[in-house]
Amino acid sequence: MAERNVEITNETGLHARPASKFVQKAGNFKSDVTIIYGEKEVNAKSIMGVLSLGVSQGNQIKIRCEGEDAETAVEELVDFLKEQMEEG
């Protein structure tokens, strides 16, 4: 298992287009990918789950991956979020 915290910096948060791209990216990994935000935990490969979190700019989320490619998945997803959020 691997996990890391990441701050959402994009002014629209993790909604619509950024969420969709993130779900697609998460789907590329064999590991189970979970986003933890506050008391909620959702499958990061589910667009409805990700959108249900309502993550906004400045919020911290935790990405947790469990499986054979967990370390790689966490690193790539955190990097993806940082790059995606910078693009807006």
Active-site positions?
15
Runs of H (alpha helix) within 1-88: 16-26, 47-53, 70-87
User: In degrees rounded to 5, what are phi and psi of residue 87?
Assistant: -70, -30
Q: Which residue has the tokens 């935990």?
A: 41
